[in-house]
Amino acid sequence: MYRKLPEGLPWREALLSTLRARPGGQGYKFSCASPGHPDENPSATLTFKLAPDNRGDMALVYCHVCKGNQPTLAAHDLVPSDLFEYSKAADEPETSKPIERYHVYTDEEGRPAHRVKRNAGKTFQQSRWDQSSERWHSGLGGCKTYLYRLPSILTAVKNGQVIFVVEGEKDVETLERFDLSATCNPMGADAWRPEYSQYLAGAEVVVIADNDDPGRRHAKKVASSLLGTAKSVRVVTSLPGAKEGGDVTDYLLKNGGTIEELRRLAEEQSPFGDRDLATQETIASKSPQSWTFALSDFLDLDFPEARFLVEGVLPEGVTLLGGRAKAGKTYLLFGLSVALACDLEPFSENWDG
| Residues written for the chain | 353
| 59 phi and psi angles, rounded to 5 deg | -115, 135
Choice between 252 and 348, residue whose per-residue pLDDT is larger: 252
Confidence of residue 207 (pLDDT cuts 50, 70, 90): very high
98-108 pLDDT per residue, tens: 556 788 899 99
Reference 47, options 174, 176, 151; nearest CA is 176
The pTM score is 0.59
Q: How far apart are CA 98 and CA 78, in angstroms?
A: 27
- Taking only the tens place, the pLDDT of each residue in 129-148 is 888 888 888 888 889 999 99
Q: Residue 14: what residue type?
A: A
Q: What is the mean pLDDT of the chain?
A: 79
Q: What percent of the chain has pLDDT over 90?
A: 33
Q: Which domains does the chain have, with CATH numbers?
A: 1-89 (no CATH), 100-146 (no CATH), 150-272 (3.40.1360.10), 304-353 (no CATH)
At residue 168, the pLDDT reads: 93
The rounded distance, in Å, linking the Cα atoms of 328 and 330 is 6
Give the C-alpha separation, 250 to 215, whole Å: 14
pLDDT over 50 (residue 283): no
- For residue 13, pLDDT over 90 is answered with no
Among the ranges given (74-83, 86-95, 250-259, 343-352), the one the predictor scored with the smallest mean pLDDT: 86-95
Q: How confident is residue 110, by pLDDT bands cut at 50, 70 and 90?
A: confident
**pLDDT for residue 210 is more than 90:** yes
292-308: pLDDT as tens digits: 556 665 666 666 677 77
Dump pLDDT digits (tens) for 16-57.
888 888 776 555 577 777 766 655 667 788 887 777 665 567
Residue 326 pLDDT exceeds 60: yes
Give the residue, 77 or 100, on which the prediction is more confident.
Answer: 77
Q: What is the pLDDT of residue 36?
A: 62
